[in-house]
Amino acid sequence: MTASAAAVTVHQTETLLFFTLLQLTVIILAARLGGGVAQRLGQSPAVGEIIVGILLGPSLFGVLAPDLFAYVFRSAAPAPMQMLSQIGLILLMFQIGLEFDFAHLLDRRHRRAVTYIAAAGMVAPFALGFGFGYATAPLLSPGVDPVASALFIATAFSITALPILGRMMIEFKITHQPIGVIAISAAAINDVVGWLLLALVTALSLAQFNALDFGLKVLLVAGYFLTWWFGVRPLMKRLIRISQAGPAPTGEKAGRGKLTHNLLGILLAGIFISAITTYQIGIFAIFGGFMMGVILYDEHELIAAWKERIGHFVMVFFLPIFFTYTGLRTNIGSLNSASAWGWCLLLIALATLGKFGGSYVAARWAGLSHLEGKVLGIMMNTRALMELIVINVGYDLGVISQQVFTMLVLMAIFSTVITTPGLRRWLPGLGIGIYTAQPRHGG
């Protein structure tokens, strides 16, 4: 490489670094502001960070200051920010997995509730979403295969936002409550099935569906869970014991539960290997992070050390990048008529009826109380940015229009915004104290 070529490469790298740092500065400060405002309004900080992401995008910032918006967010390739957001999401999912005491599922009543709610939380919204998508495709997505459009809308209706739901539950301190474990377990099942559905409808849309390949994918998912629980879990627990028994790094006290440098390296490598594995079998990398946390849920001292040393940084740095940068892809300006807003309201109503109503009825069938059914319904109805992953695939494939994409984004925001008020209203009736609106590292 010549000296001039090397100089050009260095300049390009420095330019990319400059714009990445500029975007990080704007996103982190805006997320802290949005999270603080949301908390003062009685909302979860996650809601504020999601809305900030929308406002920083073409829907507001791009309209009010298009040149400045283009300079900040369009002057460099988006890949660095996208990778940071995904790494942060994987680490968050690991942290969420650590938080949950799945011993509650030993209770037959709880297992039955998870099964019923997970099933109803998929079937009811999927049916309503498919019906809406098929009936409105000629009008809202003209020129698109109605079946393909309906399948993507149905899948979007069926998704539960596992990361944001988990974060809200941490804030409300219900991760160790039976109702919290039922909700996160049903949501996890919903999302695994949802990603399998996404793979299925994508293959169908591309006319590449193969029943044998899809069945193999299901077997790979089952094999992954069994391998991680019965193989990786004992190995990781042994490595944790060995690390904690060895000498502590300089400046750290020895003792169980300490997150030594070696143990942190082992954990991070394990999280990333798990994420790589789930990506390769087609259920997205975030589930690898979640499963890695699940298999270590009973390492209480390790969990405390992780939260103290790493958890704050994940919440303050990585997570806002995911929330706000994803919002940059959204433009709500496409709903430019009264009829479009009418269809949007109908879509939101049907999505809420399917997810909230289906989960509530299933909870009641499982023997839970009216109040427990409402709490589980409102939590399962939380969709947020996980739905955006689904609808972005559909939009990129051309099977949903810009209008339908925007409607689904607004549905995702609405379903997330109503979760916190619902929990604040209903949880005290179950004898569960709600969190106080004090600033936390997560928001």
Q: How do residues 386-408 score in pLDDT, each as one tens digit?
A: 677 778 778 878 888 888 988 99
User: 14 in a domain, yes or no?
Assistant: no
User: 297 in a domain, yes or no?
Assistant: yes
Tell me how far apart the alpha carbons of residues 402 and 75 are, in angstroms, rounded to a whole number: 24
With 0-12 CB in 10 A as exposed, 13-18 as middle and 19+ as buried, what is 239?
A: middle
Cα 442 to Cα 19, 44, 56, 124, 321: the distances in Å are 25, 9, 20, 33, 13
Model's pTM, two decimal places?
A: 0.74
- The model's confidence at residue 336, banded by pLDDT at 50, 70 and 90, is confident
- Structure tokens belonging to residue 357: 């109503």
Looking at residue 426, what is its pLDDT? Answer: 93
Tell me how far apart the alpha carbons of residues 164 and 319 are, in angstroms, rounded to a whole number: 10
Using one digit for the tens of pLDDT, what is the confidence trace for 227-246? 999 999 999 999 998 887 76
Tell me how far apart the alpha carbons of residues 16 and 432 are, in angstroms, rounded to a whole number: 48
What mean pLDDT is predicted for residues 144-166? Answer: 86
**Which CATH number do you get for residue 286?**
1.20.1530.20
User: 39 in a domain, yes or no?
Assistant: no
What mean pLDDT is predicted for residues 71-88? Answer: 86
Count how many Cα atoms sit within 13 Å of the Cα of residue 71 in the half-sphere of its side chain.
6
User: 255 in a domain, yes or no?
Assistant: yes
Looking at residue 105, what is its pLDDT? Answer: 63
Looking at residue 325, what is its pLDDT? Answer: 66
Tell me how far apart the alpha carbons of residues 120 and 112 are, in angstroms, rounded to a whole number: 12
Fill in the amino acid letter for 92: L
Number of domains in the chain: 1
User: 20 in a domain, yes or no?
Assistant: no
- The model's confidence at residue 255, banded by pLDDT at 50, 70 and 90, is very low
- The model's confidence at residue 133, banded by pLDDT at 50, 70 and 90, is very high
DSSP structure string for 34-88: HHHHHHHTTS-HHHHHHHHHHHHTTTTHHHH-HHHHHHHHSSS-SHHHHHHHHHH
User: 74 in a domain, yes or no?
Assistant: no
Closest CA to 185 of 118, 265, 259: 118
Using one digit for the tens of pLDDT, what is the confidence trace for 181-210? 899 889 888 877 877 787 777 767 665 666
Give the structural domain span for 406.
88-310+336-421
- Show the CA angle centred on residue 64, arms to residues 61 and 67, nearest 5°: 80
Give the whole-number percent of the chain exceeding pLDDT 90.
Answer: 31
Helix axes 319-327, 79-99, angle to 10 degrees: 130
Looking at residue 256, what is its pLDDT? Answer: 44
User: 440 in a domain, yes or no?
Assistant: no
User: 261 in a domain, yes or no?
Assistant: yes
Count how many Cα atoms sit within 13 Å of the Cα of residue 38 in the half-sphere of its side chain.
26
Tell me how far apart the alpha carbons of residues 6 and 247 are, in angstroms, rounded to a whole number: 45
Q: Is the pLDDT of residue 260 over 70?
A: yes
Looking at residue 326, what is its pLDDT? Answer: 66
Helix (H, G, I), strand (E, B) or coil at 94: helix
CB 293 within 8 A of CB 267: no
Using one digit for the tens of pLDDT, what is the confidence trace for 39-57? 888 777 777 887 888 888 8
Helix axes 211-227, 261-281, angle to 10 degrees: 160
Bigger pLDDT: 258 vs 61:
61
